[in-house]
Amino acid sequence: MNTRTLVVEDDEDIRRAVSAELRAASFTVDAVGTLAAAAGVLASTGGAHACAVFDRMLPDGDAAGFVDERRRLGWTVPVLFLTALDSSSARVEGFEHGGDDYLVKPFVMAELLARVTNLCRRGAGSPPVLRHSDLEVDFARCEVRRGGVLLSLSNREFAILEYLATRQGLTVSRAELIEHCWDLENEPVANVVEAVVKRLRRKLGEPDLVETVRGIGYRLS
């Protein structure tokens, strides 16, 4: 399951706390404080997010209008509005402008995590289980089996395998893996992608399923 989440919150303490909670639960998070910054992230990531969390009232406008405008352009990512506006009319307005869920401040982190997880599942476009040769990738449970044996993968290893598995037969560049498997605040240092792929290969075992296409990237063989 894709768990890349956009968090747009101008309160730095809340933004950091929400980001830390999601990352601790293995989410990839892009966190910004304005609508302009959110627009930049959406443009640079090319629709990679499974969910977005928006504070309603931001320094450069109401997120409801921002979301509504993008809905009219075909943007389908599930949105959770996170806000102090707790009137029934404000809730209705949020839904009318393209929101999928609404959480009022102050909130409990466990509830936020549960709601974001549910929205990511709702927006998932991948099949619940994908099979390739004797490899089985269960997206809902984040489990991988080879020859029926459950493998223990790190969050990053699973993210890379998931991305390759949903693009069977296609060569994926190192830049694509960085874009989709690392968030903007935690970009990998030199050779980290290669090191993670090497560990993934070792855990998957023989025969090798991850093929290196020299000068281009990787694909499932």
* Alpha-carbon torsion angle 67, 70, 71, 72, nearest 10: 130
The model's pTM: 0.62
Does residue 10 carry a pLDDT above 80? Answer: yes
Q: Are the CB atoms for 53 and 83 separated by under 8 Å?
A: no
Q: Are both 4-123 and 129-220 of the same fold?
A: no
Instruction: Give me the pLDDT at residue 128, please.
Output: 63
Does residue 126 carry a pLDDT above 60? Answer: no
Mean pLDDT of the 141-162 span: 86
Tell me how many degrees the CA angle 112-76-6 measures, rounded to the nearest 5.
40
Does residue 127 carry a pLDDT above 80? Answer: no
Q: Are the CB atoms for 63 and 16 separated by under 8 Å?
A: no
- The more confidently predicted of residues 2 and 125 is 2
Domain 4-123 belongs in CATH node 3.30.565.10: no
Q: Name the band, by pLDDT with cuts 50, 70 and 90, for residue 15.
A: very high
Q: Name the band, by pLDDT with cuts 50, 70 and 90, for residue 215.
A: confident
pLDDT tens by residue, 37-90: 999 999 888 767 889 999 999 999 999 999 999 998 888 899 999 888 778 788
Q: Are the CB atoms for 52 and 72 separated by under 8 Å?
A: no
**Residue with structure tokens 């910054």?**
37
Does residue 140 carry a pLDDT above 70? Answer: no
Going from N- to C-terminal start, the domains of the chain cover 4-123, 129-220
Q: Name the band, by pLDDT with cuts 50, 70 and 90, for residue 107.
A: confident
Does residue 125 carry a pLDDT above 90? Answer: no
High-pLDDT (> 90) share of the chain, %:
34
Instruction: Give me the pLDDT at residue 188, please.
Output: 61
Instruction: State which H helix or E strand residue 178 sits in.
Output: helix 174-181
CATH classification code of 129-220: 1.10.10.10
pLDDT tens by residue, 159-182: 888 888 877 778 888 888 887 777
